[in-house]
Structure 1
Amino acid sequence: MNHCSFNITLEWLSQQIFDMVLSEEGYNLYNAVYAVAHTYHEIILQQIESQQIAELKGLSHDCHQMASLLKNRVFTNPIGELVNMNLREKLCAEYDICNIWNFPQGFGLKVKIGGYSPYFPQSQQLHISEDLEWTMGAAP
């Protein structure tokens, strides 16, 4: 608490659009619900096409079918990002590293200060801007 300012306001946050950087858990939950809903819809359509009537014993089969379909589900979510539900398959994603600057009068600014890319050699995958000034002095 020694480094925290007591006059910081979060009012500006209500005007911001939250993205994956600020609410990763919500983003992941949304994608999971989206995938389950569309997979369940696909199962129902398959049953209707084959004129199957869901019986009590068929429900456990549906759970296995759901798990099997979810494991292989790859889709583009409503904001246009590719989502792969197969956790064993590694996606090569690039990330921006951002910092939120708080200014007087409650203004804030999200600034890109670096990034990560798996496509660069291992020693260069993580990049932090050389212009970044650390609180204890200049960047090391």
Structure 2
Amino acid sequence: MKKLILAASCMAVLAGCNDADIASSNLSKAADNFQIQRRIVFYNTQSDTIMLTIEGLCSLGNQDKSGELSVVCKTGPTRFHKEFLGLSRNVTYVVQQLEDASVSDYHYKVVWKPAVLVPNIEIK
């Protein structure tokens, strides 16, 4: 019964989506799972200079406060690097996808992370 309700909910949500919306959502999920190479360029519009460039399997912070941006990049099988950047009226950024990615525009992508659902309990 729960599976039927979940399937009906997903179909109701997706009914208003077009192919581009589904593909865009799937690309975002792939990038947030470190599957897409990106280049992120921070640009100072006042001095007309590039301040910083970050390249790699990177995910942008989705819950950042206004005026802030965090970038997490995967640098190895279990290694990650995180940058915090402050944005202002003179500093903007551009994110470029460096390679094509194969995602479906027919099927909405859901990613389950069992490690997140089952806590890692440390006993001392």
Q: Whose helix proportion is higher, 1 or 2?
A: 1
User: Normalized per residue, which structure has more strand?
Assistant: 2
What TM-score, normalized to structure 2? 0.28
Larger-gyration structure (1/2): 1
TM-score, normalisation: structure 1:
0.26
Q: Which has the higher contact order (CA 8 A, sep 6+)?
A: 2
